[in-house]
């Protein structure tokens, strides 16, 4: 899986994301250890602590590429959002053609735009964890760093969605490690790869994006697009051409296998 080059706009959120990480970790530790407190307990009474929510069931650590629709299925995946300009436009195109997709979200972006996260969920799409800071060199970093990037983003996305957890984890640039796959899978997030890189991030023109999808589709069913990180007008236009073409070829739209 090809890695994408430098994406400068993510650097602007890293510092803020790290600050959120520290607060989130501290708050999680306090909640786990102390539980909710509504005032001092009276003598002879006990304090009721609600049972914690069940942890998500573990899934396979293998990187998913296949579609749950089988050989005739295609998985549309949308990375790097949500974005207040482009995510609504992508959602509109998907709605027009009756297509469900998987949105791989950056944690701080989800935190900043919970309305968009909830709109994605309400439309029947699935969520995917795409880390806190989109570090394409994650596979060279410590296990502690990898864990923070994955689990802090998971918390941000889940909170922004109103409690709907991401079902997948996509490593930025495909920078998976055995450890990161294990961490994600243990939290119910299937590692998610791709077969077709539309190259829309490079903004090569709508025609080039469409041609790339058509040429690479024999590689497999999971197609990668973006809804953030810059002007995504070419992506929106390409989707308007690609989605009906896929239907004409007899494909159905599904989700990556779990």
Q: How crowded is the C-beta side of 224, counted as CA atoms within 13 Å?
A: 30
CA pair distance 53, 76, nearest whole angstrom: 31
How many Å apart are CA 9 and CA 63, to the nearest integer? Answer: 27
Q: How far apart are CA 85 and CA 68, in angstroms?
A: 30
For residues 24 and 20, give the distance between their C-alpha atoms in angstroms, rounded to a whole number: 6
Alpha-carbon span 137 to 173, nearest angstrom: 8
79 in active site: yes
Distance CA 188, CA 17 (A): 23
Q: Token pair of 40, please?
A: 């001092």
Sign of CA pseudo-dihedral 168, 182, 174, 194: negative
Report which secondary-structure segment, H or E, holds 125: none
Contact present, 55 and 76 (Cβ < 8 Å): no
Q: Pick the catalytic residue from 4, 79, 135, 197.
A: 79
Q: Which of 200, 226, 227, 237 is catalytic?
A: 226
- What is the gyration radius of the CA atoms in the chain, in angstroms? 19
**Dist. CA 93–CA 241, nearest whole Å:** 10
Which positions are catalytic? 79, 226
């Amino acid at each position: 899986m090809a890695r994408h080059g430098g994406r400068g706009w993510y650097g602007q959120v890293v510092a803020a994301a790290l600050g959120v990480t520290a607060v989130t970790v501290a708050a999680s530790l306090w909640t786990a250890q102390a539980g909710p407190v509504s005032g001092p307990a009276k003598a002879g009474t006990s304090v009721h602590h609600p049972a914690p929510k069940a942890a998500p069931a573990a899934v396979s650590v293998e990187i998913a590429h296949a579609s749950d629709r089988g050989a005739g299925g295609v998985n549309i995946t949308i990375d790097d959002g949500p974005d207040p300009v482009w995510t609504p436009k992508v959602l509109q195109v998907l709605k027009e053609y009756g297509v469900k997709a998987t949105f791989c979200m950056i944690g701080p972006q989800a935190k900043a735009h919970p309305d968009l996260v909830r709109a994605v969920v309400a439309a029947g799409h699935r969520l995917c964890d795409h880390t806190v800071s989109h570090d394409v060199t994650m596979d060279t970093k410590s296990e502690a760093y990898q864990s923070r990037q994955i689990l802090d983003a998971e918390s941000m996305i889940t909170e922004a969605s109103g409690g709907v957890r991401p079902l997948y984890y996509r490593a930025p640039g495909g920078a998976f490690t055995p450890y990161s796959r294990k961490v994600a899978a243990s939290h119910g997030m299937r590692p998610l790869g791709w077969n077709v890189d539309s190259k829309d991030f490079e903004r090569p023109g709508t025609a080039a994006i469409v041609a790339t999808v058509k040429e690479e589709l024999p590689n497999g069913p999971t197609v990668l697009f973006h809804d953030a990180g810059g002007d995504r007008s070419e992506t929106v236009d390409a989707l308007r051409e690609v989605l009906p073409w896929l239907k004409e070829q007899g494909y159905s739209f599904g989700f990556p296998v779990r």
